[in-house]
Structure 1
Amino acid sequence: MAHQRLCQRCAAINASWSHNSNDAITAGHIARQYAHHSNVSPSLSLMKMQSLPEELLDAILSQLDARSRLQVFRTSKLLATALLRVVPRIQLIYPTQHDVIGQHLCELAPSLTEALQKRQQPKLHLTLQPASCLTDAIMQRHRAEPAAAASVKKHRVAMMLQAVPLCGAVDSLTIKWLWNLQLPWEPVFSAALAASFPSLTSLTFSYGRLSIGQLATAISHPLLLPKLLHLDIDGITITHKGQLGRSPFIGSRLQTLSLNADVDVEGEPELLSGLLPLPPTLTQLEVKGSYRGSWDWDRTAAAVSSLTQLQQLRLTDENRGLYKTGLGPMALLSALAHLPSLHTLQMSEYVVGQEQLGALLALTQITSLQVQRFSGLTSSWASTPCSWRQLEVNWMDWVTAAYLPLHSLTHPLRLPGVGWWHMPEQGHCGPAD
């Protein structure tokens, strides 16, 4: 029964971890032998694996494919805990409907928490997520009893974060919630993260609604803020209404920041409102425009102009209509001239015109560029000095290609839309011959 509960806890274990030691050859051979014999006598192969020395067993388990790992995990407590020692990614769904008994929650199986507590290496990416049936129930209750639902939400989040009381191997954590359901975040939750995961350097919030104040609370704990280097806001609705306007990143040392977020329809229409200034320590920044928001190019330019350590910038427009060629993006291109370390610029929906191409070529620090297409070029730039080593263009016609300075490329030109040709003078697209 205990092992059955252990299997229920870990909804997905996905791994691809390799060794550089001499044991890798032996482990790879035994793993292949296991895969071969498991088709004939899986129980016999698994019994043999249980008798192997721990170091060799770990080496073998790390090289199994996902299907074999799942079979091994369900076999015995010994092999299940052995897998927990080596897999680089674990998704833990807790609590589930089986854990809720009245007003109380069942704790995780001791064997699971013990295995994670003992693990120090290799580093682990852990995903914590409550069962969807529980969050769906909270959403339904919120419509009828908002106050009661708020209390339940806090209790569920607290239990989810306390599922693993201590694991020094976790350096990357993802917290998944429910789309459009407010994620209640309090200072005690950040304290729990700092205590449970002392090696944490990367944090992802996935789905749900989060206010700027709650985001600031989540990352500003004194034991968490100095160590947090990577923050990913994935599918989150950022609420601005009623905020004081103070950036949530004050004092942070973030190196990478990804903002794949929407904005609240009742709040500010622009994503970066309330998030500025961005951390000056950033080396990578990704901003994905929301479905409801719009690009404020002046604000975007101001946001990045002081990021002198920035090396990679990626801007994506979900609307595919607010992100066009014209005077607006020129403000951003002018700001990029002040970023000497910037070598990669990805603007996958950006349509580059004659003036914008000149501004891009003036950014001689850029060696890798991605754009939607080039349009309206009135003269050739083919022999113009260019710093580009890599170029990706989603759509390209042969006339435009002849106008571009492709002589500097050291990598193959990437054309994801190569199966289509484009006739700019007719505005028509059709399949290539």
Structure 2
Amino acid sequence: MFVDEAKIFVKGGDGGDGIVAWRREKYVPMGGPAGGDGGRGGDVVLEVDEGLRTLIDFKYQRHFKAERGENGGPKNQHGRSADDLVVKVPPGTVVRDAETGEILGDLVAHGQRLVVARGGRGGRGNAHFATPTRKAPEIAERGEPGEARWLLLELKVLADVGLVGFPSVGKSTLLAAVSAARPKVADYPFTTLHPHLGVVRVEDGRSFVMADLPGLIEGAHAGHGLGHEFLRHVERTRVIVHVIDVAAVEGRDPVTDYQVITEELRLYDPALAERPTVIAANKMDLPDAAANLARFRDAYPHLRVYPVSGATRQGLQELLRAVADLLDEVRAQEAAQAQAGALGPAPQRVYRYVPPKRREFTIRRDGEVFVVESPELEKLVRMTNFDLQDAVRRFQHILRQRGVDDALREHGAKDGDLIRIGEMEFDFVD
């Protein structure tokens, strides 16, 4: 089964909790605070594994959660940070945020990594909160929650050469004739429902990867037929081999076929219409092929047209040599542009966690409850240990410092009214 799309949930590990502890040594009656910090939670990291070819593994496992950090210990002992959770993906995987659609990474090279969910930092122990006026603080933070998000994974096949054309023009037969790949071959449309890859070796020793891509129809750029499921795979190819049924077995006109397919590529991505292209005039072993080939060449005299037959292997070596020559030219151009700095490194945008800027909070009414909405204050609630009186006082001080108390009064909050921040509810004290 070939799977080229998947939706997964990732969550970084929560940070370990800091603790309240005191220095306890003989002859040191008032040793002071010695609570250690919690360890950092693990990140969720996607890593390219060139041995993978599909996203099939994500059909059976969709949730990936990194481990949490270890809690702090006494004597200022910090908790152990958790290891990162590494999730393997095939080369050619595009990673998007499921909620915003933002592209987080384009993973193409073996070993390339992408951090998709950052682990939370460890909570601080009470040793961090000691001051000249507060020498015995009963304060320790809980660990920061790890990031959580849904991701969309989209696989675009990595191949040097892509076979394009209408259904039933002989793309699968052609790939089977020139490589060890064995795609399904049958005499009905859309036999190929997913890409097949094959390594092609030319007689002179050169080789390249060729992909048999699902058949294209008119309107594919708008999603008709296999539509975008096909076109996304063409984007990666360096050279396009446009396979034409010059025998017109299905009753279509070869001249019109080329025009329609070229227009579909252009409408999907104008860059595809400029991609180096070779025409494989297939099924030359059948009647009417020679006449149609002459008419095709008259209509498109500027194209590189190679008469072939996937069934009898007629003209295949000449076609492969032409494709290999064209690939050599493309690679030489890429190398020259890279050396001149025109291309730069391969696209591999890596998501880096950027802490959210401090944002103003909002207050709304939910019946009799005043709801304070602010991601930063909600995180503060999750990291505060309300069992510790000093921690509660610190929380109240931060709310006053941020102007939350004054804003609640302006919205009509009175002594004893219920306030909600995140999952925490408490009474307003004026």
Under TM normalisation by the shorter chain, which class is it? under 0.3
TM norm structure 1: 0.23
Q: TM-score w.r.t. structure 2 length?
A: 0.23
Q: Which has the larger radius of gyration?
A: 2
